[in-house]
Amino acid sequence: MKKHERPVAFLFGEEILAPVRPALMPPVDVVEDAQGWRLVFEIPGAEPDQIAVNIQGRILTLKGVRRATDRADGLFLRVERAAGAFERALELPEDPDPERTRATYTDGLLVLEVPKKAVSRGRSIPVVKGKKGA
């Protein structure tokens, strides 16, 4: 820690000097297998009807609103959980199949099951003899 940072760390804690991650950007785990991807977003305090998922090409966009903590009687000494609107976009490594994508929200976790788009397999095209003059 640099000498000029010590008073700030003493007053506010060392975490104030750590790199900042946007508070409202939901963290995500992404797992890929042969069939597609499973994305798990942490979004505590949201309601399913306040979350929108969109797939456009290979870009998956998540938008929503996280509600604020209910104000109880008393004085908040520290507030670390962010509330408000959020948006996050991720590029998938291959084309997804948006028609078969499923989303479920349980206990603050949004789970997206995103299948890969089926790869078009080649096929032999039979050539038939046509009629003369056609």
Q: Name the residue ranges covered by the structural domains of the chain.
A: 51-69+78-94
Give pTM, 2 decimals.
0.70
Tell me the mean pLDDT per 10 residues along the chain, length 134: 51 47 80 96 92 96 86 77 89 95 96 91 82 74
Query: How many whole angstroms separate alpha carbon 110 and alpha carbon 48?
Result: 9
pLDDT value, residue 14: 46
With beta carbons less than 8 A apart as the criterion, state whether 36 and 114 touch: yes
Closest by CA to 9, choosing from 38, 56, 18, 95, is 18
